[in-house]
Amino acid sequence: MARTGQPSARRIAAVERAIGLLDALEHGGEHGTNELARTTGLSPSTVSRVLATLAAGGLVEHVPATGRYRLGLRLVELGGAALAGTDLREVARPHLQALVRATGETATLSAPAEGRAITVDFVQSGASVQSVARLGRPSVAHATATGKVLLAFGSVPELPPEPLERFTARTTTSRADLGRELERARAHGYAEAAGEREDDLNAIAAPVRGVHGELVAILGVQGPAGRFGPAAMKAAVPALLERAAALSRTLGHRAEGPGTARAAPGH
């Protein structure tokens, strides 16, 4: 058979059944054989055989006291190995491209670094003559959507000291006002900045989570104020949150509602 470099289209039914059982167990807790049979549509005898095989490999764990099953610690080891070889920019790029298609504006990827968020990749809107986004550009914590996400969801120990630097007439310069903005960001799962660093630049941004819920990256959408105004920003939010959640899942995070997002210490 000729080699195509592509995965085979043929699938192994036993492996698919094992994956289905792991998916049924992924929300945590212990589950019985009959319960898993109802969830997956498999017969109890099939579920029992597959679980025994998975338990032998450490992928699930049998709890003798209850006779039920839960996910095994071997999955943590495998997940860690997979993440260690993950290039954040590579896995994020399809989401950046999707955001540009959905919003018509430039999409950015930033990474937390020493109390700042640094732009590590972006996909420019085809409608932009010149993009403000550039690799290596640091955020301003109180005057950019990306910076506010870092403050609201990251591990920055405290808010910037007053007086907060004014960049435009719309820059937030009060710590109290900034604190209220961060609370809104935590409640809704994203932050926004309208003409706060540059007069003609508006942006929204959302956190990307890792396995333990930590902030590992920030997705953003930005555009000129004349085109990416309040209505367009609001319309772009669902796509932004969807892509941030999808990228978080790829990095091992299990979804939470925006209201349950973790606040940074000291806020």
| Contact call for residues 71 and 26 (beta carbons, < 8 A) | yes
pLDDT per residue as tens digits for the range 18-50: 888 888 887 677 888 998 999 889 999 999 999
- DSSP notation for 4-37: -SS--S---HHHHHHHHHHHHHTT-S-B-HHHHH
Q: Give the CA count within 13 Å in the CB-facing half-sphere of 156.
A: 22
Q: Report which residue type is found at 174.
A: S
* DSSP 8-state secondary structure symbol assigned to residue 2: -
Q: Report the distance separating Cα 184 and Cα 205, nearest Å.
A: 13
Beta bridge partners of 215: 209
Beta bridge partners of 206: 219
| Contact call for residues 241 and 189 (beta carbons, < 8 A) | yes
Q: Report the distance separating Cα 117 and Cα 154, nearest Å.
A: 10
Mean pLDDT of the chain: 84
Same structural domain, 27 and 120: no
107 found inside a domain:
yes
Residue span of the structural domain in which 61 resides:
13-81
Same structural domain, 155 and 238: yes
Q: Report which residue type is found at 126.
A: G
pLDDT per residue as tens digits for the range 60-91: 889 998 989 988 877 766 655 555 555 788 88
223 found inside a domain:
yes
176 found inside a domain:
yes
* DSSP 8-state secondary structure symbol assigned to residue 254: P
Which residue, of 46, 81, 116, is where some domain finishes?
81
Which range (21-25, 80-84, 119-123, 133-137) has the least confidence? Answer: 80-84
Q: Report the distance separating Cα 145 and Cα 150, nearest Å.
A: 9
pTM: 0.66
Q: Determine the pLDDT at residue 264.
A: 38
Same structural domain, 110 and 209: yes
Q: How many domains does the chain have?
A: 2
* CATH assignment of the domain containing 247: 3.30.450.40
Q: Determine the pLDDT at residue 233.
A: 96
For residues 153-175, give the mean pLDDT. 86
| Contact call for residues 164 and 171 (beta carbons, < 8 A) | yes
Q: What is the largest CA-CA distance in the chain?
A: 70
| The two three-digit tokens of residue 254, written as one number | 């299990």
Which residue, of 62, 81, 100, is where some domain finishes?
81
Same structural domain, 93 and 59: no
SS3 117: strand
More reliable by pLDDT, 257 or 227: 227
Indicate the pLDDT class of residue 224, thresholds 50, 70 and 90: very high
Look at strands 215-224 and 201-209 and give their pairing. Answer: antiparallel
* DSSP 8-state secondary structure symbol assigned to residue 260: G
Q: Determine the pLDDT at residue 5.
A: 57
